[in-house]
Chains A and B, each alone.
Chain A
Amino acid sequence: MYKHKAITLISVLVFFFLFCPLILIIITSFNSADSISLPLKGISLKWFFQVFKSRSLTGSFKTSLILAFAASVIGTLLGLLSAIALVKTKNRVSVFLYNVFLSPSLIPGIVTGYILFKFIVVQLQIGLVLALLTGHLLIVLPYTVRIICASLRNTDEGIEEAARTLGCTPVQAFIKVILPELEPALLSAFMLAFINSFNNIPVSMYLKGPGMDTLPYAMMNYIEYNYDPTVSALSVMLMGMTLIFMLVIDHAAMKKE
C-alpha cells in the first residue's frame, strides 16, 4: 500500500467532491420542506410517493427502461458478433473496423444526435421509436464491442480447438467452451450499455418524439418548472438501481474467480 500524506489528502478531497453532492441529494430527498433546502425541516417520505404520482416521470421512466433494455440487449448481441469477427480476422481491415466501432464514443453526443436526426429522421423518415433505438445502439456499441473484444482476446483459442477435436462443430465449440468464458464480460457489457443508454440526454433530445420523453430529459424538464425534492427522491432510487447493478457485476466476477 502507498502511504504518503499528500496522496491520502488528495484522495480524500477527490472522494469528498465526488460523494458530497450525492450525499446532499440523499439527505434532501427525505426533507419534508417544499424546496430542495438545508437544514432539514422534518423527515418525510412524501417525495418518494410524489415521484409515482407524476405522470411525466413514471411514463418517461418506463420509456427509458424499455429503451435502455432493448438497446443493451441488441447492443450486447451485436457487440458479441462484431467482437468474434474482429478478433478472429487478423488483418489491417479488422483493426480499422475496430476503431470505427469505437468512434461513436469519441464524437460528442450532441453531434451524433444531430446527425442522426438529420439523416434518419429527416432524410430517411424512419419511425421515431426505431430512430431512438438506433441512436442508443450507437451509444452502447463502443462499450460492448470493447469489453467483449478484450475478453475474447484473453481467451485461449486452444480451448475452442480442443472442443472441436472432442467432437464439437465450430458453433457448438463456441457455445460450449468460449461463451461460458465470456459470461462476466457479457454481463458487464450489458450493464454498462444499460447505464449509458439510460443516462443519455443529447442523443435522446434530438430523436425523441412528442409524448415520448426519456427519463433524464423528463427530469430536466421537471426541475425547470418545479423546485421540490421529487427529483432528489427519484435520483436516490436511481442510485439504488445502479448500486444493485454494480453488486450483480461484482458477484458475477467473484464467482468466476
Chain B
Amino acid sequence: MNYGMLSDIELSYDRKTTILKNLNLEIQKGELLSLLGPSGCGKTTTLRIIAGLIEPDKGRFIFDGNDITRLPVHKRDFGFVFQSYALFPHMNVYENISFGLKMKNFSKPDIDKKVKNIAEICDIGEYLQRFPKQLSGGQRQRVALARALVIEPKLLLLDEPLSNLDAQLRVQMRTSIKRIQRKLGITTVFVTHDQEECFSISDRVAVMDKGVIVQCGTPEEIYSRPVNAMVARFVGFKNFFTPANAVKMGIQIPAGCTQICIRPPDIELCTQGSNITGTVEVRTYLGTGYQYEINTGIGTLSVSSSAEPPLEQGSTAGLVFKPAKIVFLDR
C-alpha cells in the first residue's frame, strides 16, 4: 500500500544548478526504504524534502492521503535522526528524549513512562542523567534514535546515521536499528552511501545518481539485475565490456544489449576451455583469497579466487565467465 509518494519533485540551487529532477518515489507502510548513492547525488536533499526542512521548487509529496508539500516541519510528526546526531548539548539524555513529548503537552507521568520505555528499547536506560558530551558515539546515536522514536512518528527518517561510528559498532548499530524498526513496525527512510550497510537492513532500495532515482527495488533485485552501468559499479561489478567483445569470447547476447558486466568472483580461473586468456599484472591478498588484475585482449579484468596455489604475477591465466552471473545492460 502506498503510504507516502513523492511525485515529480524538482529542486535547483540558485535556480541554476539542478539538484533533483523529476524525482518519483513511493514509500510503503511499515517498510525500511533506503536511498543509496554516491555523495552529492541528492539523497540527503530528498530526505530533507520528505522531512519538510527543504521545500521543493516543483512537485508534490502526498502522505497518508494528504498533500503535505507545504506543511511546515513541526506539524509533520516525522522523526529525524541527523548525521551529527544534533543532541541538545545543554540538556541531559532524559531531557533530550522528552523534548518532543513536552512540545506535544503530554502529562508528566506519561512522559516519564514513554521516555523510560523507549530508553529500554534503545538500551540507554542507565545514561538518562548524563549529558551528550559524556556519551560515546554509539550511545549518542542511540539517544538520537530514541529522541526521534519517542514521539511515535508516522515516519522515521535517518540521515547517514552510522557514518560517524567505527566499523564494528556500525555493524552492531545497523542490526539494532533493524530490530527496533521491526519491533515498532515504523515506516523508515534511510539514507546511506554504503552499499553493504544498505543491503543488509533494507526492505527496498532506491539507487540515486545525479538527482534522479535510477533504480528502485529489493536489495536482491538490484544486486543481481542492475539497470545500468552506474548501479552495476555501485553494487560491486568491476568488469565491463562491449557486446562485440562478448561475441568474440563466445557469449550469447540478447537483442538491445549495450554493455555486459560481471563481478570479480564470478570469473573462474582454468587451464582449458576458457573464454579468454591474459597475463596476471597485479596480485593482492585479501585474506579470504586473492584478487588478480589480469591483462587480456579486451582490457584489464578483475578476478578474485581462493584457489591454491595462487597464480604468480606475469603468468598466463585462462578465464571462464559463469554464464548465469553475466549481466546484460541495455542502458
| Chain A residues packing against B (C-beta within 8 Å) | 156, 158-159, 161-169, 172, 176-177, 180-181
| Chain B residues packing against A (C-beta within 8 Å) | 51, 53, 72-74, 76-80, 82-90, 99-100, 103-104, 147-148, 151
B151: chain A residues at CB < 8 Å are: 166-167
Chain B interface helix/strand/loop/mixed: loop
The minimal Cβ–Cβ distance linking A180 to chain B, given in whole angstroms, is 5
A162–B143 Cα distance when bound, in Å, is 13
The A-B contact count (CB < 8 A) is: 60
The minimal Cβ–Cβ distance linking A64 to chain B, given in whole angstroms, is 35
A156: chain B residues at CB < 8 Å are: 84, 86
- Name A167's closest neighbour in chain B (CB-CB): B103
A172–B87 Cα distance when bound, in Å, is 16
A164–B74 Cα distance when bound, in Å, is 5
A166–B51 Cα distance when bound, in Å, is 11
A165–B51 Cα distance when bound, in Å, is 8
A164–B100 Cα distance when bound, in Å, is 9
The minimal Cβ–Cβ distance linking B214 to chain A, given in whole angstroms, is 28
Q: Which of B80, B90, B103, B147 contacts A168 (CB 8 A)?
A: B103
- Interface pair A161/B86, CB less than 8 Å apart: yes
A181–B89 Cα distance when bound, in Å, is 8
A176–B90 Cα distance when bound, in Å, is 10
- Name B151's closest neighbour in chain A (CB-CB): A166
- Interface pair B99/A158, CB less than 8 Å apart: no
Q: Which of B76, B82, B90, B104 contacts A162 (CB 8 A)?
A: B82
Q: Which of B53, B74, B83, B89 contacts A167 (CB 8 A)?
A: B74
A181: chain B residues at CB < 8 Å are: 89-90
- Interface pair B90/A169, CB less than 8 Å apart: no
- Name A162's closest neighbour in chain B (CB-CB): B86
Q: Using A161-B73, A164-B53, A166-B151 as known contacts, list a sample of 12 further A-B pairs with CB atoms less than 8 Å apart, ordered by residue number in A.
A: A158-B86, A162-B87, A162-B147, A163-B99, A165-B73, A165-B74, A165-B148, A166-B99, A166-B147, A172-B103, A177-B90, A181-B90
The minimal Cβ–Cβ distance linking A186 to chain B, given in whole angstroms, is 14
A–B pairs, 13, beta carbons within 8 Å: A158-B84, A158-B86, A159-B86, A159-B88, A161-B53, A161-B80, A162-B80, A163-B88, A165-B53, A166-B147, A166-B151, A167-B151, A168-B103
A180: chain B residues at CB < 8 Å are: 90
A177–B147 Cα distance when bound, in Å, is 15
- Interface pair B82/A177, CB less than 8 Å apart: no
The minimal Cβ–Cβ distance linking B74 to chain A, given in whole angstroms, is 5
The minimal Cβ–Cβ distance linking A130 to chain B, given in whole angstroms, is 38
B76: chain A residues at CB < 8 Å are: 165
The minimal Cβ–Cβ distance linking B159 to chain A, given in whole angstroms, is 9
The minimal Cβ–Cβ distance linking A230 to chain B, given in whole angstroms, is 46
A164–B51 Cα distance when bound, in Å, is 10
A169: chain B residues at CB < 8 Å are: 72, 74
The minimal Cβ–Cβ distance linking B103 to chain A, given in whole angstroms, is 3
- Name A157's closest neighbour in chain B (CB-CB): B86
Q: A166-B147, A168-B74 are in contact. Are A161 and B103 (CB under 8 A)?
A: no
The 6 closest A-B pairs by CB, nearest first: A158-B86, A167-B103, A166-B100, A165-B80, A162-B86, A164-B73
Question: In the complex, which of the residues B73, B76, B79, B104 has the most CB atoms of chain A within 10 Å of its own CB atom?
Answer: B73
- Interface pair A161/B82, CB less than 8 Å apart: yes
